[in-house]
Amino acid sequence: MLPDSRRSTIGSAARVSAVLAAILLSSLLSAPVSGKTVGNPPAAESPAEALDTASFVRELGRLKSNLEIARKSPATLQAFRESLPSKWVVKSGDQQYDVPTSPLTTRIDKAERDSALREFQLNQARDFLDALAAEALSSSGTQPENTSSARAALNRILARNEFASGRKQSWWDRFRELVNELLYDAFLRLLSQIGGQKSMGEALLWLGVCAAAILIAYWIFRRWFRAARMDEIALQSAGVPIRSWQQWVFLSRGAASQGDYRMAIHCAYWAGITRLEELGALPADRAKTPREYLKSMRKSTLLASETHTTRYQALSLLTSRLEKIWYGYHLATETDVLDSLAQLEVLGCHLP
């Protein structure tokens, strides 16, 4: 599926966030500061108060709680964003780190401006705070009472596609992404003109995708069931015992007398096949399917032309009835049995 324009924007922002997150994680792990500021250039504001690791984790927890409260409206989000400093100064032992807040404020700013992306961006911001808390605790060597949620959030962030593509995106991946964006932009230009509404075009696009998926699934299952049915026909044909046509007729009448018309039609069909094999019109090959027997009968040249057509028509009727009733499980009647026995007379079975 092609991403929509908004998800394309999300993807671009996610790639930028991936780079910033990678720089942030590496800085927390191995970039000590000795009297110099690491991260964003110093802004024209009062120096931020340095926090130790425990205070920094508590501050991140407080911000996470306030973020949930600020979800209510763009105004509360704006107030929350403006209350954030440009960076956090974190001290860990003798080392000091400057942690920029730009990855967090960028997401909140996008959530303010676009209501459709608000939930996604705020969830990203929440996960960012969880990842910072987990990394800060990990770098300090202390373990919180329960770090499972923070660790899970960090793993979710690092497992996303944008991080994987930022690490090992090949030229083919970049080319394919560009083609996808171009194709989707073309679809948007075409479909947005329908009714003058972009939402209508998107709805039609999704309907087309769903219809295509249903058609593909139907085609796959149809081929699957047809192949399974042909295998069943071949296996059942190969398992038919060898009897004379008289024995098959006797079994057919016996089944009909007991009300088992389905079995009676099955036996009548094989009585006809056995009789044609005796006449040389069909090869003695039990591995053939009913349709293959009919095809061989059509190509047979061992019967006189005046009887070939009538016997081919009789076998065709027997084959069609066998497929519907024996393999298709259609309801069989006594009339079907009597007609099948009548077709045996045409095939050369002289019934008593």
What's the pLDDT score for residue 28?
A: 44
Question: In this structure, what token pair is assigned to residue 243?
Answer: 């009897």
Q: Which whole number is the average pLDDT over 89-101?
A: 81
Report the 10 Å Cβ neighbour count for 227. Answer: 10
Question: pLDDT digits over 141-167, tens only?
Answer: 555 455 566 666 666 666 665 555 555
DSSP string, 231-250: HHHHHHHHTPPP--HHHHHH
Question: pLDDT digits over 224-256, tens only?
Answer: 877 766 655 555 544 556 888 899 999 999 999
What's the pLDDT score for residue 350?
A: 84
Checking if the pLDDT of 338 tops 90, the result is: yes
Question: In this structure, what token pair is assigned to residue 92?
Answer: 């860990």
Looking at per-residue confidence, does 265 or 228 come out higher? Answer: 265
Question: pLDDT digits over 270-293, tens only?
Answer: 999 998 888 888 887 777 888 888
DSSP state of 196: G
What's the pLDDT score for residue 321?
A: 93
What's the pLDDT score for residue 243?
A: 86
Report residue 260's pLDDT band, with 50, 70 and 90 as the boundaries: very high
CA distances from 265 to 243, 250, 285, 339 (A): 16, 12, 20, 9
Range of weakest confidence among 70-79, 194-203, 210-219, 323-332: 194-203
% pLDDT > 70, the chain: 67
What's the pLDDT score for residue 199?
A: 62
Give the burial string for 125-151 (b: 16+ CB within 10 Å, else e).
bbbbbbbbbbbbbbbbeeeeeebeebe
CA distance 289 to 123: 61
Range of weakest confidence among 17-26, 42-51, 102-111, 316-325: 17-26
Looking at per-residue confidence, does 18 or 209 come out higher? Answer: 209
What's the pLDDT score for residue 268?
A: 92
Q: Which residue has the tokens 């500021």?
A: 37
Question: pLDDT digits over 180-211, tens only?
Answer: 888 877 777 766 665 555 566 667 778 888 88
CA distance 130 to 27: 17
Report residue 335's pLDDT band, with 50, 70 and 90 as the boundaries: very high
Q: Which whole number is the average pLDDT over 315-325?
A: 92
This prediction's pTM: 0.36
Residues 6+ apart with CB under 8 A from 56: 88, 90, 99, 136
Mean pLDDT estimate for the chain: 75
Provide the total of helices (H) and of strands (E) in the chain, helices listed first: 14, 3
What's the pLDDT score for residue 13?
A: 47
- Cα 170-171-172 angle, rounded to 5 deg: 90
Checking if the pLDDT of 37 tops 60, the result is: no
Going across the sheet that includes 87-92, the strands are: 50-52, 87-92, 95-100
